[in-house]
């Protein structure tokens, strides 16, 4: 990895692609596309950017003793009937381009709006044309976090906050993330942990939990693509000081964890400070030698 990727306003597709590209075999086994004890070779289907029709990003050749097939993964924050058309289109286009069996998996991240029974299917009857596409709906919140922890694959850890989990399992996921030796990978996985967890929890609280557990420092998190997304999201919602307010909110929560509820003068000082000042205070608050709030906010 050479740098943090730029994330879109709704970056869940990109997040899943990032995690899948690290270890596609692990993701497919969690989705049930591969049995735990079946040896397999999983490789991304090459993206032909010059092709007139673009195939989905999460498309993988899966080679087992039984032959080669294609696994197609889609991700949605909630299950929507509109996915039927998308699945149908990608299945037909994929077959025409690749001429291989295709299995589709729809990963639904939250129970918002409910979710259909799995497997589901799309049927089109138009005169002499009949198309039937079956796909499996995977409800992340129904899956036990213990399954991911048992797999021992770091790229799966960001899914834990959205799974059926205990607080102990969430903390264990954080502990394992903290143990990742590669600094950049650890930062990016921590950011994705907070991004996905933000679908269930307050995003800023999750950021603070990630930082508090010593996985990465607040300064490191600033370099992650997720952190930039949080700040940019404020601007997209029309906040004129999106970056400053995002930084200020993180600083205030750090200070409250250390000193308790802040006096009004401290909150007012943070609100009035420019971004460079807030960043400098954010670095100071991580200094274990600083014991007085007055000393930090000077």
In angstroms, the CA 176 to CA 153 distance is 10
Answer for the pair 63, 25: CB distance below 8 angstroms, yes or no: no
pLDDT bracket for residue 186 (50, 70, 90)? confident
Rounded average pLDDT over 171-187: 89
The winner for highest mean pLDDT among 32-36, 37-41, 116-120, 220-224 is 37-41
Distance separating alpha carbons of residues 271 and 274, to the nearest angstrom: 8
- Residues 281 and 240: their CA atoms lie apart, in Å, by 22
> For 153-166, what is each residue's pLDDT tens digit?
999 999 999 999 99
Model-level pTM?
Answer: 0.71
Rg (CA), the chain: 22
Does the bond joining 119 to the residue before it have cis omega, within 30 degrees of 0? Answer: yes
What CA–CA distance (Å, rounded) separates 61 from 72? 9
Q: Where are the alpha helices (DSSP H) in 144-223?
A: 145-151, 167-178, 183-197, 203-212, 218-222
113-149 b/e (C-beta count within 10 Å ≥ 16 → b): eebeebebebeeeeeeeeeebebebbbbbebebeebb
CA 162-94-103 angle, 5° bins? 45
pLDDT tens figures, 235-246: 555 444 444 566
């Amino acid at each position: 990895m050479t740098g943090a990727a730029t994330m879109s306003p709704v970056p869940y597709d990109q997040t899943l692609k990032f995690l899948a590209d690290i270890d596609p075999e692990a993701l497919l086994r969690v989705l049930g596309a591969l049995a735990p004890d079946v040896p397999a070779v999983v490789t991304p289907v090459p993206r032909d950017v010059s092709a007139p029709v673009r195939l989905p990003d999460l498309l993988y050749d899966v080679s087992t003793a039984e032959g080669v097939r294609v696994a197609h993964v889609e991700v949605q924050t909630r299950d929507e009937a509109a996915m039927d058309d998308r699945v149908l289109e990608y299945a037909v286009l994929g077959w025409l381009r690749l001429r291989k069996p295709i299995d589709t998996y729809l990963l639904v991240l939250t129970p918002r709006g409910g979710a259909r029974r799995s497997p589901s299917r799309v049927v089109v009857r138009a005169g002499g044309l009949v198309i039937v596409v079956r796909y499996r709906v995977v409800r992340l919140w129904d899956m036990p976090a213990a399954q991911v922890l048992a797999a021992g694959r770091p790229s799966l850890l960001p899914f834990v906050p959205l799974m059926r989990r205990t607080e102990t399992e969430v903390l264990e996921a954080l502990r394992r993330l903290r143990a990742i030796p590669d600094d950049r990978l650890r930062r990016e996985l921590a950011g994705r942990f907070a991004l996905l967890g933000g679908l269930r929890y307050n995003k800023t609280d999750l950021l603070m939990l990630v930082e508090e557990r010593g996985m990465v420092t607040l300064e490191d998190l600033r370099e992650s693509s997720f952190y930039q997304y949080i700040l940019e999201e404020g601007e997209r919602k029309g906040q004129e000081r999106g970056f400053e307010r995002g930084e200020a909110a993180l600083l205030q929560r750090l200070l409250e964890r250390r000193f308790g509820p802040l006096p009004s003068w401290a909150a007012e000082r943070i609100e009035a400070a420019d971004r460079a000042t807030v960043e400098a205070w954010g670095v100071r608050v991580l200094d274990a030698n600083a014991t007085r709030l007055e000393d930090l906010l000077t």
